[in-house]
Amino acid sequence: MSVTSATPVSTPSLPTVPLRELAPWAVLFGLLAALVVFFVSADQGAISIPSGTAIHEWVHDGRHLLGYPCH
Amino acid sequence: MTARVFLVRGLLAGLLAGLATFFVAHAVGEPSVAAAIALEGSHSEDGHNHGHSPADGHSHAEDGTVVSRHDQRTWGLLTGTVAVGTALGGVVALVAAAVAGRMRRLTLGQSTALVSAIGFVSFALVPFLKYPSTPPAVGNADTIGSRTGAYFAFLLVSVVVAVAVTVLAVRLAPRIGTYGAVVGGALAYVALMVVAGRLFPTVNEIGDFPADTLWYFRRASLIILATMWAAIGVVLTGLLLRLQSRERVVIARRELAASL
Ligand SMILES: [Zn+2]
């Protein structure tokens, strides 16, 4: 390509994170994130863990305004 | 750079994004929520309570709730935006880690910004277009199960299609060129989501809810979602670029020392 980069030649090409190293982080944090999003977006609506309405009511406005079905 | 340094910066970006989202949501969104709840209250009196009577365990009015309205619109809202912001920030950072250096000639900043933009479109904007947010007082309590299922299934389809199309575009780019890959990928995503949108059930439980209040609420909702994703993208990209330039200085120093 005729496009010349402004970065100096000594700069190493962009380092990549090995996918093997990334996988455990992705699985663990992915599950944790899904759990957190579940409690804010859907708990004590369609599914209740634990039963009751306290969590639903506490995050209620966020659930509506972030676009999740509330009730 | 390691997965950990990406995740730490993603969590920080998400936390800040959650805070920013709270302030925007409190200022822009809460007036619409209050207006909707006031309507709901006046409706309950003439018998049209849309299934929100305290009897079914869900009422937005002050009476019959465990959490006061004041707590819901302050600490409760803050909990929701910060929790979702931090979770999404971490996920975006791990995806950014996976694609860094693997997206043709894109720099770290460019690929991270692109991940955030695709995240906003596929995780927030497109699900919103199919299943727009609804204010309190809208929605039949009997259909919450099917509506929740449809919403998250559509969201999942959207994210999976976005990831697949992006991977395919990056793979095909050397053969068909960047222009063709980007335009083709975007068109493929739009086409597939139009098909998915037609296959998924439509929800319309608005009834006689006033159109202006509904529009203000949905506009606020969209602004709030855009705030969250923009803040995640901007802060995370900034943090990663700072880290990168610091690492480059260290490497340059090391090379200089080795050459002496
Ligand atoms: Zn509600």
- CB-based contact, B7 to chain A, within 8 Å: yes
Q: In angstroms, what CA-CA distances link B88 with A55, B11, B46, B76, B225?
A: 20, 8, 42, 18, 12
B230 & B200 share domain: no
More confident residue, B46 or B216: B216
Q: In angstroms, what CA-CA distances link A40 with B78, B79, B240?
A: 11, 8, 28
B110 & B15 share domain: yes
Neighbouring C-alpha atoms within 13 Å toward the C-beta of B11: 9
* CB nearest to B80's CB, from A42, A63, A69: A63
B112 & B172 share domain: no
Q: Which residue of B has its CA nearest to A28?
A: B91
Count interface pairs A-B at CB distance under 8 A: 170
pLDDT band at A30 (very low <50, low <70, confident <90, very high): very high
Q: Which structural domain range is residue B185 located in?
A: 139-205
B227 & B113 share domain: yes
- How many domains, chain B? 2
Task: Please report where in the chains the tokens 């340094």 appear, as a residue.
Answer: B5
Could you tell me if B117 and A52 are in contact, meaning their C-beta atoms sit under 8 angstroms apart? no
List the single range of A1-5, A48-52, B228-232 with lowest mean pLDDT: A1-5
B42 & B74 share domain: yes
What is the ipTM metric for this complex?
A: 0.88
Q: What is the pLDDT of residue B44?
A: 54
Q: What is the pLDDT of residue A10?
A: 43
- Mention every residue, 6+ apart, whose C-beta is less than 8 A from residue B213: B32, B35, B36, B39, B135
Could you tell me if B60 and B32 are in contact, meaning their C-beta atoms sit under 8 angstroms apart? no
B188 & B83 share domain: no
B46 & B111 share domain: yes
Structure token digits, residue B87: 């979770």
Q: What is the pLDDT of residue B89?
A: 98
Please give the backbone phi and psi of residue B60, each rounded to the nearest 5 degrees, phi first: -95, -15
> Could you report the per-residue pLDDT of B86-140, keeping only the tens digit for each?
999 999 999 999 999 999 899 999 999 999 999 999 999 999 999 999 999 888 8
B106 & B230 share domain: yes
- CB-based contact, B132 to chain A, within 8 Å: yes
B241 & B167 share domain: no
B100 & B144 share domain: no
Residue B236 lies in a domain: yes
B143 & B244 share domain: no
Residue B124 lies in a domain: no
Residue B129 lies in a domain: no
How far apart CA A14 and CA B14 sit, in angstroms, is 24
> Which residues 4-63 on chain A approach chain B with CB closer than 8 angstroms?
10-17, 19, 21-22, 25-26, 29-30, 32-34, 36-37, 39-42, 45-47, 52-54, 56-63
B113 & B216 share domain: yes
Q: Which residue of A has its CA nearest to B132?
A: A67
| pTM for this model (two decimals) | 0.89
